[in-house]
Chain A
Amino acid sequence: MSVRLILLLSHALFALGVYGVLTRRHAIGLLLSIELILNAAALNFVLFSRAFGHVEAQAFALFIIALAACEAVVGLAIVIGLARHAHTVFADQVDLLKG
């Protein structure tokens, strides 16, 4: 596949992720959309590291995968906490704090 095509794919992934964040209401749907954005960045790093023959960028992609997993762990823990204390997992029902 050409560089151009993969770039198109990664940008489409990024746009999909941002669209998902703006439209989803379910907390887990929001986390999934954010995951798409992270993967778009990881794809970019892998693509460019191949293009430049740059090893460090591949390590960067691996770190992104690991950190995305950490973020999912913390995110799901927080969603469980929310379900316990607020009895909801919908972001638009999280409305106690405002002003």
Chain B
Amino acid sequence: MKQGRGSCRAATPPAVLGLVGLRAGGGVPGSASPAEAILSLGGLLVLLIGAWARGHRPALTASWLTLAAGAAALWSAPVPPASSPFFGLILCDPFSLAFRWLALGTLAIVLLLASASRELAAAVRGECYGLLLLLGVGLMLMAEANHLLMAYLAMELVSLSSYVLVGFLRERRSAEAALKYLLFGALSSGIMLFGMSLLFGLTGSLAFPDLQAAVAGTGGPMARALLVAAALMLAGLAFKISMVPFHMWTPDVYEGAPAAVTALLSVGPKAAGLALLLRLLEALAPLWASLSPLLLALTVVTMTLGNLVALVQTNVKRLLAYSTIGQVGYLLIGLAVHTRVGHEALLVYLVAYLFMNLGAFACVVAVMNGTGSEALEAFRGLARRAPGLSLAFAVFLLSLAGIPPLLGFVGKFLLLGSALDAGEVALAVAAAVNSAIALYYYTNIIRLMYFAPPAQAEPLSPSPSPALRLALGSCAAATLALGLWPGPLLELISRLAVVRLL
């Protein structure tokens, strides 16, 4: 780690080459990120195949091959306790490994959804897969970033791919959502960048470990200037994870985007953004005393606002958007308590959130394929038209609400436990009250599916395709099985969560 940083300043050009993955594995001691190189090259290749080949099948096959090769590379790469290849731009430690697997898992399920969704025209679907893979690379790099430049580049890679993906449908709502996302996103990344430049001006360092040392040594009026710079920078990240008061874009963008893309946006960037936020806060740790009251307050406001506004929604994608804001509020607990237990709980809840939220979106895709509607009314009497699908959706919603014995309960239990453990009783109470509020709108959908008479009696057609069944089945199985036997997952995560993040 020291070595990488030491050679950093003199050797900027090779570091630049390293960014595009050209030097992956070559020459740099301790380098271990061929997975990102495979995914980025594969993503570019899939974009080309998607543009030239007829139909989306060749691009889909290439994407699965790329994803499998990336997973194999990640599986076989040795994980040293911590190494920072590419001249300290990224940090490979067990913590980032966990987030890289989360990104790959999200990508795999979203690929299933995108290939099964009838919304996306077959002619452009190939390009959609390529952009998804590139977005996945951005997610991995966000979790690994150990340098302000890498943090910015990774976030922009995620943002630029998602702006395009949101606007993928050839209709007005999708174009509007893309414009809103672009304008809000570009503004917030500009503000974040300005904050980074001020931070650099005040400390003279860009790498996170140097930054931490420099921040610790700053006092007097400069410390107040540092707070301003940190606030500007954190605002950009808060936008990415839709934390109040930077959440306004979320419902509009989630409603206008294709359902598969909404599924990705509600999980991938949230997980990666939380990882980056955790590392940045660690780099700014000397300011923690000033930042933590604000973070605690925003955590409570985020979950309360998300859950309250979700109560009155009539469009299922919009409802899940507000539910996402509420869930981000729960996730922020793990960050706000700033303990190892909190970090572990955050990771467990992220795994749970991945399966239950992507599963819920798989159900939305299935219903949209069958009815063409995304209104809550489309779920009326669904239990009689598609019993299996309704059962799976009920499982995901109950897990999101945190009902035992599902995986969502395990995660939420650990988060509340970590809040109590850190002495933040008010935070735990707020989260518990919010869970009760959230239960209302989640169970309302279940009531519609099971107890309301259907508008049509015939079975949902077409019934979910094999890809969709696979996504639904694996998410439901994971939510149930890991909820009943959480032991192995908890043990794995207790080995991956680390105290030292830099």
Residues of A at the B interface (CB closer than 8 Å) are 10, 14, 17-18, 21, 27, 30-31, 34, 37-38, 40-42, 44-45, 47-48, 51-52, 54-57, 59-60, 63-64, 67, 70-71, 74-75, 77-79, 81-82, 84-86, 91, 94, 96-99
Known: A14-B194, A74-B164, A85-B171. A67 touches B153 (CB 8 A): yes
- In the complex, A84 Cα to B179 Cα: how many Å? 13
Known: A34-B186, A56-B9, A63-B153. A27 touches B179 (CB 8 A): yes
Mark the stretch among B121-129, B250-258, B260-268, B494-502 that contacts chain A.
Answer: B250-258
B187 touches which one: A34, A78, A81, A84 (CB < 8 A)? A34
- In the complex, A74 Cα to B190 Cα: how many Å? 15
- A45 in contact with B197 (CB, 8 Å): yes
Name the residue on A nearest B176 (C-beta).
Answer: A94
B206 within 8 A of A: yes
B318 within 8 A of A: yes
- In the complex, A18 Cα to B12 Cα: how many Å? 32
- B156 in contact with A67 (CB, 8 Å): yes
- A63 in contact with B190 (CB, 8 Å): no
Residues of B at the A interface (CB closer than 8 Å) are 8-9, 12, 15-16, 148-149, 152-153, 156, 160, 163-164, 167, 170-180, 182-183, 186-187, 190-191, 193-194, 196-198, 200-201, 204, 206, 251-252, 255-256, 313-315, 318
- In the complex, A31 Cα to B187 Cα: how many Å? 9
> In the assembled complex, which residues on chain B have CB atoms less than 8 Å from the CB atom of A75?
163, 182, 186
CB A52 to nearest CB in B, in angstroms, measures: 5
> In the assembled complex, which residues on chain A have CB atoms less than 8 Å from the CB atom of B204?
48, 52, 54
- In the complex, A95 Cα to B178 Cα: how many Å? 13
> In the assembled complex, which residues on chain A have CB atoms less than 8 Å from the CB atom of B256?
96-97
- A86 in contact with B191 (CB, 8 Å): no
- In the complex, A34 Cα to B198 Cα: how many Å? 18
Residue from B9, B164, B172 whose CB has the most chain A CB atoms within 10 Å: B172
CB A87 to nearest CB in B, in angstroms, measures: 9
CB A79 to nearest CB in B, in angstroms, measures: 7
> In the assembled complex, which residues on chain A have CB atoms less than 8 Å from the CB atom of B200?
44-45, 48, 57, 60
- B206 in contact with A56 (CB, 8 Å): yes
- B194 in contact with A85 (CB, 8 Å): no
- A78 in contact with B179 (CB, 8 Å): yes
- A41 in contact with B194 (CB, 8 Å): yes
- In the complex, A40 Cα to B193 Cα: how many Å? 9
- In the complex, A41 Cα to B9 Cα: how many Å? 21
